[in-house]
A and B are shown apart, each in its own frame.
Chain A
Amino acid sequence: MTTIEKTADDAVREGAGDGGTPLLEVRDLHVEFHTRDGVAKAVNGVNYNVHAGETLAVLGESGSGKSVTAQAIMGILDMPPGRIPQGQILFRGEDMLTMSAEDRRKIRGRKIAMIFQDALSALNPVLSVGYQLGEMFRVHQGLSKKDAKAKAIELMDRVRIPAAKERVSDYPHQFSGGMRQRIMIAMAMALEPDLIIADEPTTALDVTVQAQVMDLLAELQREYHMGLILITHDLGVVADVADKIAVMYAGRIVETAPVHELYKRPAHPYTQGLLESIPRLDRKGQELYAIKGLPPNLLKIPTGCAFNPRCPRAEDICRTEVPALVPVTEQDGTELPGRGSACHFWKETIHG
């Protein structure tokens, strides 16, 4: 079984680009929503990639575009009002945005699967979990109802739901939150896809259950050598599981880095702010840092760097020029593989 060595190893591979074609590559993706009040620009030129066996964490607050990007990849955006004016989403080198609807459908669930945040609403309330799990096999593999049910029980065992055989005919509301999320995971894993997108998979769960579910997800990912895109706003979840992180703000990636480097030395004031707002035992008694202001209104994204109204480092250039995502280097110019920052003052941020 392939076990992935995290961080350093991965970062090198990432930098050297040795993995060949990535499993998934998002190129300059734009998504906008046409609403009554105007056009909401939810995603404004996102680039990222994921290799097999790799975990990419996409971090950002509500409205940063992290979920919308995921839905665009999945092909489950509501269009209209949503629209993808430009960009490419390459799966194994093929652009999914130009595929036929039927080809795309065949990728969904079979090659790329998704785990949603709130399993209670994401599972169909009037169908038994066995039916919903078995559906994957019936539709994609043409299994009979009976065989599909047997497979469903197997899956439920796999995600360690106790008494799977007895519970296969139960309905989603009869399970606890953690068990429901396991069912969601089982459903995503059913056909052993190449890539899983998990959209805040633990947000709706109790803290104690969060870790169990996250561990299960990581374990299954290792076992099947899948790519994983983990969308979250929880920095705590990320640290344990992810290989690399992309931080999003106002529909753009503002910083990318291998996971531990990001925690050690953030190269964007926004990331810095996020990290400083984590309560820490060694700073007990001190006032907790908070990023001032509100997340941007997607209908009126500030000019220049979208973060400038909230940024402690903001200067005139930040209000006029959109900073590009540039490679981050050591002070002496040594390359830092996999690192990038979209800040005019990244040098000051990381080294100052």
Chain B
Amino acid sequence: MGRYVARRLLQMIPVFIGTTLIIFLMVHVLPGDPIRAMWGDKAADPAQVASLRHEFGLDQPLWKQYIDYMVDLFKGDFGQTFGGRPVSEEMGMAFPVTLRLAAVALTIEIIVGIGLGAWAGLKAGRAVDTGVLIFTLIVISMPVFVLGYLARFIFADELGWLPPNVQDSMDVQQLLLPGFVLAMLSMAYVARLTRTTFAENLRADYMRTALAKGLPRRRIVGVHLLRNSLIPVVTFLGTDVGALVGGAVVTEGIFNVQGVGNLLFKALGQREGTTIVGVVTIFVLVILLINLLVDLLYAVLDPRIRYA
């Protein structure tokens, strides 16, 4: 196990370098000059542009910029925004907010998703199954922002049940609506996956054995079926973190959550490379680590998987 973790961590290094390099290149190579953009439509003083360039290291060759950035990164230095604030400080404020939002979303996703999926899977082919199927299809068909505005319009503006904007991210009630919106898409996928694995595993031989053992239905479903069916769901949850991150950008914008998504969105608007690369780098790292975690969890859930 220890060796496996070490090997996986080593394997992560090239992937991490490759991914961050792509992002770095995207931000810095493609047309569009962020320094020039600071002046907007006004004419810029070439000398000032040049000095700013130098200050941010933008006059260096790209490969050197990237290496410098990476070296700084490992010292915990994410560089500075154009406004002069350290990126790490900005992210330090925004990350906990996003983390809380993600936690709310993940909880909804797991409870509602697995619950709905299990219900449909156990009644495969019946009306409930069709109902859940159509519900998930509708949810998947609605892009996050449509869902977000719809939810905000209905639950906040019209019904007034929940606040439309998040002022205090420590308040779970305020995070409920954005968390719900953020969770919906993945929740639908979790429900469908759970439904499929439930329906499939219901026909497994070991289910027949469990039945033949005279176990009560509660136990057959809750122990024998659930343990086997959760394995693919956990894998999905791991790979889905990336989608959750993308959705967070939109959701945070709609509900005015001051999280990383919002930070990134603002940085994109201002073409502020250091913040963009910083945020995405952290996201990539989180995704890679979560994938590793899921792999390890996989071994706990499925004893057939052995790591060598």
Contacts and interface: CB of A to CB of B under 8 A. Distances in A.
Interface of A: 71, 74-76, 78, 105-110, 113-114, 116, 118, 121-128, 135-136, 139-140, 171, 173, 187
Contacts of A110: 214
Centre residue among B203, B214, B224, B302 by max chain A CB count within 10 A: B214
Chain B, interface size: which category?
Answer: 20 to 34
Contacts of B1: none
B203 A78 contact: yes
B213 A127 contact: no
A108 B217 CA distance: 13
A125 B231 CA distance: 12
Nearest to A80: B125
Interface in B198-224: 203-206, 208-216, 219, 223-224
B303 interface: yes
B213 A116 contact: no
A139 B223 CA distance: 13
27 contacts: A76-B208, A105-B214, A106-B214, A108-B212, A108-B213, A109-B212, A109-B213, A113-B212, A116-B205, A116-B208, A116-B212, A118-B205, A121-B206, A122-B206, A123-B209, A125-B206, A126-B227, A126-B231, A126-B301, A126-B304, A128-B303, A135-B219, A136-B213, A139-B214, A139-B216, A171-B303, A173-B303
A78 B302 CA distance: 27
Nearest to A184: B209
A187 B303 CA distance: 21
Contact of B211 (A108, A126, A127, A139): A108
Interface in B254-289: none
Given A126-B228, A139-B219, A173-B304, A121 B205 contact: yes
Centre residue among B203, B206, B208, B219 by max chain A CB count within 10 A: B206
Contacts of B304: 125-126, 171, 173
Contacts of B228: 124-126
A2 to B, nearest CB: 26
Contact of B212 (A76, A78, A124): A76
Contacts of B212: 74, 76, 108-109, 113-114, 116
A187 B215 CA distance: 13
A108 B214 contact: yes
Contacts of A107: 214
B43 to A, nearest CB: 69
A75 B214 CA distance: 10
A126 B230 CA distance: 11
A138 to B, nearest CB: 9
Nearest to B225: A124
Contacts of B302: 125-126
Contacts of B215: 105, 109, 135, 139
Given A78-B203, A139-B216, A125 B303 contact: yes
A74 B209 CA distance: 10
What secondary structure prevails in chain B residues at the interface with A?
A: helix
B206 A123 contact: yes
Given A108-B212, A140-B214, A124 B219 contact: no
A313 B212 CA distance: 41
Contacts of B231: 126
Contacts of B224: 124, 127
Nearest to B227: A126
B303 A124 contact: no
Given A124-B228, A126-B302, A139 B210 contact: no
Contacts of A139: 213-216, 219
Centre residue among B211, B219, B227, B302 by max chain A CB count within 10 A: B211
Contacts of B203: 78
A122 B203 CA distance: 11
Given A127-B224, A127-B227, A122 B205 contact: yes
Interface string B187-207: 000000000000000011110
Contacts of B205: 116, 118, 121-122
Nearest to A197: B212
Return the 3 tightest CB-CB contacts between A and B, nearest first. Answer: A109-B214, A108-B214, A121-B205
Given A127-B223, A127-B224, A171-B303, A122 B208 contact: yes
Contact of B210 (A118, A124, A173): A124
A106 to B, nearest CB: 6
Given A116-B209, A127-B227, A173-B304, A121 B216 contact: no
A122 B209 contact: yes
A49 B171 CA distance: 69
A186 to B, nearest CB: 12
Interface in B94-128: none
Given A78-B203, A139-B213, 10 more contacts: A108-B211, A116-B212, A124-B210, A125-B228, A126-B303, A127-B224, A127-B227, A135-B213, A135-B215, A173-B304
A232 B98 CA distance: 62
A344 B210 CA distance: 43
A155 to B, nearest CB: 13
A145 to B, nearest CB: 13
